[in-house]
Amino acid sequence: MDSRISARSLTAALGGWRSKEPVYEALADGIRLLCLDNRLAPRTALPAERELAAELRLSRTTVAAAYRSLRDTGHIESVRGSGSVTLPLRRTDPGHRATGPETIDLQQASPPAWPGLAGVIAEVATRAATLVSSVGYDIVGRRGLREAIAERYEARGIPTSPDEVMITTGAQSAIHLIASVMLGRADRVLIETPTYPHAADAFRRAGARMVGVPVTTDDGWDLDRAEQAFARTLPVLAYLMPEFQNPTGRTMSSSERAVIAAAADRSGTLVIVDDTIADLDIDRVVRSEPFGGEGPVIRLGSLGKTVWGGLRIGWIRAEAETIRRLVSARAVHDLGTPELEQAVAESLLPRLDEIAVQRAHLLRQGRDAVTLALRERLPHWRVPVVDGGVSLWVELDAPLSSGLVMAARADGLYLSAGSRFAVDGGYDRHLRVPFTAPPETLVRAVSVLERVWPTVQDGAPDALTARFDAMV
């Protein structure tokens, strides 16, 4: 058994799970969704029936019925005297991600590969004899690739030497490495909420405690909360996405950058700036100044969103001493980044500006198509305006995001509920809708949402929908 979730944490993760169907089945569906999007990893121990019943203010009989339903569908197993644990999804699971011509998977928010990538890979492959003569992986990164990345930072006004760059197996690998080196158990990490969920998972895995700072599509970062959080909790790390924040799509203004950077400097907090989506401009005319204060900043980059998710190349830009610490600790996680992928990345770096223009065209088509479809077919939802990034943070007219995601799955549409991006629960009124798929696919996805939304509303308790009906 790898982990255990408390009744309190499970209740927060469940969010708005209640519906008009039998309460036990609504609870079971809520737990199923947590399993399906991996918020409950396989072999996670669930709370005891009595404990969860007390936290949810339900009868123990109701919780027992929910657990029985989960056992019947193969999502958990229970052993007398040992409790209940979640199980890996099976291929026959009705909620397991299927594939097929009618399936629409919008959970990853990843654009298709840049069209010129195959040609670059083919060109690099002609040098295969040279590449395979080496050990095949590199714990620091190819010198030429690090030089190319350093030059891009220099062009943005961030003086950088190749010794201040480390190549990783994607940005997620970089986040896990930083968390393992920089954090101790119970250290605090300031993090935006909503946020990129896999970053929060990495920090929690290192034993850190999350301190959330709200970000909204309309108002941006809550600066008062941010300053208070830095001053009161003195976080060891702060994880920020200043450009096209995931999932809201919001970009920090100059004043927001200044306030947050100054607060981090005063508290002695090491800031991690995630720039993995920063190059995905659509309509922005002038790029923002790089985030930074007087203190050190760790910057993360990746080719996953700009070029292709299957090209597992990321990097860390930090002070040389920090890079040395990370390199020394890396072998515990992996032995290095493959040479072939690095060679491909080195060939791509000089062309990133060209690639960004193509990406802007593709993303503009998707964003405009899904925005228009949502506003026409679901007019009571609030659809924000974003000028870059990969997704829309849509506000529903009732807190039923989890139920909507479950209902859409039955029609072959896979999305992530708003609560997936929460730090401490909530966001059941929000849905992340990526616009990285072709326009016709996105319009078809909206058709599914339009079709299932009335059913989800009809099945919700009156208390969840009544006050929102009065607003529209």
Same domain, 235 and 194: yes
Same domain, 176 and 284: yes
With cut-offs at 50, 70 and 90, classify the pLDDT of residue 455. very high
Distances (CA, A) of 281 to 103, 296, 356, 359, 372: 28, 26, 7, 8, 19
Q: Encoding tokens for residue 330? A: 């890396």
Question: What are 166's strand-pairing partners?
Answer: 316
Same domain, 57 and 18: yes
- Where is the domain boundary, 351, 379, 414? 351
8 Å CB contact between 54 and 48: no
8 Å CB contact between 419 and 401: yes
pLDDT at position 100: 60
447-452: long-range contacts (C-beta < 8 A, 24 or more apart)?
A: 447/373, 447/377, 448/104, 448/408, 448/411, 448/412, 448/413, 449/374, 449/377, 449/378, 449/404, 449/408, 449/413, 450/377, 450/378, 451/411, 452/404, 452/407, 452/408, 452/410, 452/411
What mean pLDDT value characterizes the chain?
91
> How much is the pTM?
0.87
Same domain, 167 and 193: yes
Mean pLDDT of 366-393: 97
In a domain, 396, yes or no: yes
pLDDT at position 91: 45
Same domain, 346 and 379: no
Same domain, 238 and 260: yes
Same domain, 184 and 332: yes
With cut-offs at 50, 70 and 90, classify the pLDDT of residue 14. confident
In a domain, 91, yes or no: no
In a domain, 289, yes or no: yes
Going by the DSSP 8-state scheme, the letter that residue 74 receives in this structure is T
In a domain, 96, yes or no: no
What digits encode the pLDDT tens for the residues 437-447? 999 999 999 99
Q: Encoding tokens for residue 214? A: 């709200």
Burial profile 75-111: b = 16 or more Cβ within 10 angstroms, e = fewer:
bbebeeeebbbbbebeeebebeeeeeeeebbbbebbb
pLDDT at position 465: 59
Q: Encoding tokens for residue 468? A: 């929102």
Mean pLDDT of 432-454: 97
In a domain, 183, yes or no: yes
In a domain, 358, yes or no: yes
* Residue showing tokens 């696919």: 441
In a domain, 452, yes or no: yes
Distances (CA, A) of 440 to 111, 196, 429, 437, 443: 14, 27, 26, 8, 5
Would the pLDDT of 461 be above 80?
no
Question: What are 232's strand-pairing partners?
Answer: none
In a domain, 95, yes or no: no
Q: What is the CA radius of gyration of the chain?
A: 23
Dist. CA 275–CA 103, nearest whole Å: 30
Same domain, 341 and 421: no
Same domain, 60 and 187: no
8 Å CB contact between 12 and 212: no
pLDDT at position 18: 75
Q: Which CATH number goes with the domain that contains 36?
A: 1.10.10.10
- Where is the domain boundary, 333, 351, 369? 351
Tally of domains in the chain: 3
With cut-offs at 50, 70 and 90, classify the pLDDT of residue 219. very high
pLDDT at position 178: 98
Burial profile 14-28: b = 16 or more Cβ within 10 angstroms, e = fewer:
bbbbbbeeebbebbb
Same domain, 305 and 453: no
Cα atoms found within 13 Å of the Cα of residue 127, Cβ hemisphere only = 14
Judging by DSSP bridges, how do beta strands 137-138 and 337-338 pair with one another? antiparallel
- Which residues span the domain enclosing 418? 104-114+354-469
Reduced to 3 states (helix: H, G, I; strand: E, B; else coil), residue 190 is strand
* Residue showing tokens 């401009």: 281
Q: Which CATH number goes with the domain that contains 245?
A: 3.40.640.10
Dist. CA 340–CA 427, nearest whole Å: 41
Reduced to 3 states (helix: H, G, I; strand: E, B; else coil), residue 359 is helix
What digits encode the pLDDT tens for the residues 386-416? 999 999 999 999 999 988 999 999 899 999 9
